[in-house]
Structure formats: structure tokens, C-alpha cells
Structure 1
């Protein structure tokens, strides 16, 4: 198979795995991340392997430990799939390195320096977590996990471990903006993503200001 055919197989695999997701990480999210990654690839001067980059973009949530019951088993299945469709062992390792290490929760542990292809995928994923779509996804995810929308008596946490971050009983949907989403613009790796993030960041800030005004009954 050529690279186009391989990526089509990857796309179908991702669709099969993610199409039933009800937390904001469904196949629509995957496709937006792939589009973001393609855009960044086209607008950055530093080269990155497009097949590795886009394959990782398609597959980045397949073994996410907040989405699957057995992340290790999911990674093994992913590795087997990559070998089956023609990726070399080295290419498979590169893709798994990216998919295993791009999440925000990984930054709460010992951080790993990603290759440039991984930095692109990380930026592409983070761009879909902010702005208008990021707002909708935050509410959608919080609703799926019965999170409180907002409680002015619960302050956003400033520091937390990965385990604490994943404990949604200690979070509200609005606090999630302060604990994660508003941090992402400064965490972008590429100049292209940093530029795109500025507008989305401001959109979230405007939303939060309006939310507070309406919550407090200001006219």
C-alpha cells in the first residue's frame, strides 16, 4: 500500500474505534485534529513526516486512559494494527510515542520531549480543546460525567497531580477552563498553533466574562 492507502486504513480504524464516543472525543473530534495537523504541517518551515504525523493525529485517542478501560491492551492492539497495514517497527514506535505522550495529563507527570511530528499533533489536539468548539466539548464532557456546571464556592485548583486532575468530583465545568483550557495557548509548540490559539483564547475569555455576568444577574 502507498501512504495514501495506509492513511485511509488508519482513518477507517479510528472511525471504528471512536464513532460511538459520547464525551467529546468522537470521530468528529479526530477529523478536526487531523485537519489542524495538516494545516500546521503546511505552514511550518521545519519538516515532519506527514504520514507519521497524520497517522498519529487519527490515532491519538485510541488508547487514552480516560477513554478506555484497559489502555495497555488498547496500545497493544494499536501496535498490531500498525504492523498489519505496513508500518515498520520504527514507524510504529514513533506513532505510539506520540499518542502515548501528547495529553495534558502527561504534563502533570515527568514531561517527555516530543519529536516535531508529535509537537504538531499535540498542538492540533489542543487547538480543538479551546475556542468555540473547546467550550462545547468542555460542557459536553462535563455533562457526560455529571459534573457541576459552576459553584462560586469551589475555587479552581492551582496545582494538582494527574490523579487529582482526573477526579472530576473536585472540579466544575467552569473551573476546568481555569485549570486547563486557558493554559493551552501558552503551551503550544509551533508558531502556527500559537497564532491560531490567540483568537480562540480570547473567545473563551469573552465567554467566561459573559457567563459570570449572567450568573450574577448583571444587566
Structure 2
């Protein structure tokens, strides 16, 4: 099987697996991350097959839709790639990307720190995934997931938690607007690649403008009326 055929087989598998997924974590999310990955990879020296498979399989079983079980995604990816006789070394790299790509994986869990996996391929796919959590798409995804979980849009009496541990992040039920401060607005400074940083800046500024407009509409009495 050629690399191109392997990628096509993976696309088919992901589409079938995620056909009933929540709108912010469905096939179209994967497709956008894949496209972002290919864009960023143009300027980076990476293994294209690894980043392709990492992007396509990174959310094959997101833990938040599986009672917080973080082992299902890596296991599904391993079983799928193994069934196609993909070399174990390549599978291990892809699984390491899946295990380390998420925002929460970088949060303090209160446990003794161990050296985390890192590679240029992880950095590229991670930037691509984080870009999809920013800008117009990121805003849409945030409110779509908030609606999926029946969360409040905004509550002025519930401030954002800016020092969340990994466990607190996983259990959070805070209003969707808080998510901007607890994650989305922090992503710009966590990008790895030159292209990722450039694209993130534009999306970051868009989110700031959105929040400014949101607060104006939330409390119009606080905005002076020009006559």
C-alpha cells in the first residue's frame, strides 16, 4: 500500500467513525485540521505521512465523549493502523501525537513531572488543531459544544478559572464565554511553528473583537449612546 492509499483508507475510516459526532469534533473538524497541517508542513521539515495520519486520527475518540477515557483513541488508532500493516515505529509516533496533542495534556495535574513526548510532527499537528479552536471557527465550535452540554452562554457572577489543573479542566462546566479566557485566548502564545504563530495572531484578534461586541450587546446600558 502506498502512502497515498494509506491516507485515503484512513480518511474513509475516520469519516465512518465520526459520522454521528458532535458538530465541533466531527469529520469536518478533522478535515480542517488536516488542511491546516498540510499548510504548516510546507514550511517545516517533517514526515508528511506521520503528520497526515496524526491529523486524521487525533480525535478519533475524543476522551470527553467517552467518559474521560483517554485510552480509547490511541487504542483505536493502533488497531486500525496495525490492520493495515503499518510499521510499529510509525504507529508509535502517531499514537504519541494523539496522546500529547490536547491542550489539557499540558496542564498541571499535580503529579510528579515526567519528560513529555515531543517531535516536530507533533508541533505541526498541534498547531493545526489549535488553529481550529480559534477565530470564527473556534467561536462557532465553542458555542456548539456549549449547547451540546447545555451550558450557560455567560454569567457575570462566574469568573474564569485561570489556574485550572488538568482534572479541573476536564470537569469544568463553566459558561462558554469563560472558555475564551481559560483556553482560546491563551493559544496564540502556545503555538510552535512560524506559520502557526502567524495564522494564530489573526484569529486571536478576531476573537478579541468578538468579545468586545458580545459585552456591548450583553449590557447595552454600559455603552454611551451617540446622538
TM-score range, shorter chain: over 0.9
Conserved? CA contact 1:6–1:86, under 8 Å: no
Q: Which residue of 2 aligns with 1:184?
A: 187
> In structure 2, what is the Cα distance between the partners aligned to 1:38 and 1:86?
24
Deviations 1:44-63, CA, capped at 9 Å, x for gaps: 3xx11000101000000113
1:94 equivalent in structure 2: 93
* 1:107 match: 106
Secondary structure in 1 aligned to 2:142? helix
Unaligned 5+ residue runs, structure 1? none
Greater radius of gyration (CA) = 2
Which range moved further: 109-118 or 130-139? 109-118
Corresponding residue to 1:216 among 198, 216, 219: 219
Distance 1:211 1:94 in 2: 41
- How many Å separate the matches in 2 of 1:22 and 1:63? 11
**Displacement of 1:193:** 0.3
SS of 2:157's equivalent in the other structure is: coil
| Structure 1 counterpart SS, 2:85 | coil
- For residue 143 of structure 2, the aligned residue among 139, 145, 170 is 139
Quote the offset at 1:83 in angstroms.
Answer: 1.3
Distance 2:202 2:76 in 1: 38
Match of 2:29 in 1: 29
The CA deviation at 1:160 is: 1.2
TM-score computed with the length of structure 2 as normaliser: 0.91
Q: Determine the C-alpha separation between the residues in 2 that align with 1:42 and 1:193.
A: 11
> Partner residue of 1:11?
11
Query: What is the count of residue pairs matched by the alignment?
Result: 216
Question: 1:81 is matched with which residue?
Answer: 80
Counterpart secondary structure, 2:65 = coil
Deviation string, structure 1 residues 149-194 (Cα, Å, up to 9, x no partner): 001111111101122112233x110010001000001100000000
Pick from 159, 165, 181: which aligns with 2:163?
159
C-alpha deviation, 1:100, in angstroms: 0.9
Distance, in Å, in 2 between the alignment partners of 1:151 and 1:105 is: 23
**Per-residue CA distance 1:24-44 (angstroms, 9 max, x = gap):** 100000000000000001123
1:149 match: secondary structure? coil
Q: Residue 77 of structure 2 aligns to a residue in which SS?
A: helix
Question: 2 CA distance for matches of 1:84 and 1:74?
Answer: 15
Runs of 4+ more than 3 Å apart? none
Q: 2:193 & 2:28 partners in 1: Cα distance?
A: 23
